[in-house]
């Protein structure tokens, strides 16, 4: 089968993304994820099934099946802007590693056309999938949420061991590997918790950057639209001062930290 004919399921393509990977990028959001992070701002991304959201009376279908060719047609539209900015295509989700055939075909087709590739991933996938995909990805941005596996399980529905193993695997294969940490008050926003992640990251081969992404509550409406409960207690986004303190903790490990993507 031609790469362009490979099918997959996405729920959005977002153009002119300037905060996720280098330059101006188009983000393809793939549907389906193994994690159920309580703070997830894209809860409509979690189920693989096509869903409907009731946006206070307006019914919207979330998810559509597309071919790699169809995605590339949209991605190609900003090719000129990628070239000028060093940008390209980013796969996000959901977890794009849950659709390895589709993700691999997208990456390979993009490279075929000279388009830079990146992924935002939890790395919750088999080692085999990681080995298949990483050679076709120019920049890997991986989330690490917590070093304590039990707490990780409580807040995301998955233990962290496999992901941390995959992190080491990616580090061995990728030349451009960035660790990103969502900073969630009540979950992982103490200096100790951030330090533990940063120390782990600093020992990964080639990892130089760690991005701290402060929690925001922009996704809470979507839980209501999906008829779901938002299970995080009412928390405030972390203050700028606190983020600066955490940034200092990251930088102390020798990594180059930054706030925001």
Partner 1 sequence: MSWTFKGELPKSERIGLLIENLFRDQPQIEPDRALLITESYKATEGEPMITRRAKAFAHILKNIPITIRDHELVVGASSKAPRSCQTFPEYSWEWLESELETVGTRSADPFYVSEETKKALRGVHSYWKGKTSSERAFAYMAPEARQAIDHNIFTPGNYYYNGIGHVTVDYGKVLRVGFHGIRREAEAALAKCSVSDGDYNRRSAFLQAVILSCDAVCEYAARYAELAHMKAKSEPNAKRAAELEQIAKNCERVPAEGATSFYEACQSFWIVQLLVQVESSGHSISPGRFDQYMYPYYAADMAAGKITMEYAQELIDCVWIKLNDLNKVRDAASAEGFAGYSMFQNLICGGQDADGLDATNDLSFMCIEASRHVHLPQPSLSVRVWNGTPHEFLIKAAELTRTGIGLPAYYNDEVIIPQLLEHGETMEEARDYNIIGCVEPQSPHKTDGWHDAAFFNMCRPLELVFSSGVDQGVQIGPRTKPVSEMGSFEEFFAAYEEQMNYMIKLMVNADNAIDVAHAELCPLPFESCMVDDCIANGKSMQEGGARYNFTGPQGFGVANVADAMWAIKTLVFEQRKYSLSDFKDAMEHNYGQDMDAAWAQKLTATVVKELAEKGVSVDNAQIVQIYREIATNKATPDQKACYEKLLADIRALDKFGNDKPAIDAMARRAGYVYTRPLTQYTNPRGGVYQAGLYPVSANVPLGAQTGATPDGRLAFTPVADGVSPSAGSDVSGPTAAANSVSRLDHFICSNGTLYNMKFHPSALKGRAGLESFVALVRGYFDQKGSHMQFNVVSRDTLLDAQAHPENYKSLVVRVAGYSALFTTLSKSLQDDIIKRTEQGGF
Please report, as ranges, the residues that interact with partner 1 according to CB under 8 A: 14-19, 23-24, 27, 77-78, 80-81, 83-85, 87
Assigned token pair, 6: 């490979």
Chain-centroid distance, C-alpha 15: 16
Q: Which is nearer to partner 1, 17 or 160 (CB)?
A: 17
Q: Which is nearer to partner 1, 87 or 182 (CB)?
A: 87
What is the CB neighbour count within 10 angstroms for residue 230?
A: 17
Residue 82 beta carbon to partner 1: minimum distance, rounded to whole angstroms: 9
Residue written as tokens 């600093």?
Answer: 202
Residue written as tokens 């903790």?
Answer: 249
Residue 85 beta carbon to partner 1: minimum distance, rounded to whole angstroms: 3
Helix (H) or strand (E) holding 76: helix 68-76
Residue 55 backbone phi and psi in degrees, to 5: -80, 75
Residue 158 beta carbon to partner 1: minimum distance, rounded to whole angstroms: 27
Cβ contact 257:247 at 8 Å? yes
Q: Which is nearer to partner 1, 94 or 171 (CB)?
A: 94
Residue 25 beta carbon to partner 1: minimum distance, rounded to whole angstroms: 9
Q: Which is nearer to partner 1, 199 or 209 (CB)?
A: 209
């Amino acid at each position: 089968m031609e790469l362009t004919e490979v099918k997959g399921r996405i729920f959005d393509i977002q153009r002119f993304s300037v905060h996720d990977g280098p330059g101006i990028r188009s983000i393809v959001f793939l549907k389906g994820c193994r994690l159920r992070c309580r703070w997830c701002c894209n809860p409509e991304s979690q189920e693989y099934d096509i869903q409907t959201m009731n946006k206070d009376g307006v019914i919207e279908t979330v998810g559509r099946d597309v071919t790699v060719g169809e995605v590339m047609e949209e991605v190609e539209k900003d090719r000129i802007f990628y070239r000028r900015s060093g940008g390209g295509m980013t796969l996000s989700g959901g977890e794009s590693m849950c659709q390895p055939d589709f993700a691999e075909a997208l990456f390979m087709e993009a490279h075929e056309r000279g388009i830079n590739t990146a992924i935002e991933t939890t790395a919750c996938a088999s080692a085999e999938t990681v080995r298949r995909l990483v050679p076709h990805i120019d920049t890997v941005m991986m989330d690490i949420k917590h070093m304590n596996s039990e707490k990780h399980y409580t807040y995301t529905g998955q233990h962290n061991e496999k992901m941390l193993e995959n992190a080491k695997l990616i580090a061995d294969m990728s030349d451009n590997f960035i660790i990103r940490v969502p900073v969630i008050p009540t979950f992982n926003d103490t200096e100790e918790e951030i330090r533990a992640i940063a120390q782990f990251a600093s020992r990964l081969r080639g990892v130089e950057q760690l991005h701290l992404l402060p929690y925001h509550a922009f996704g809470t409406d979507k839980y209501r639209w999906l008829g779901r409960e938002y299970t995080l207690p009412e928390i405030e986004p972390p203050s700028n001062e606190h983020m600066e303190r955490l940034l200092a903790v990251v930088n102390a490990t020798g990594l180059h930290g930054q706030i925001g993507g």
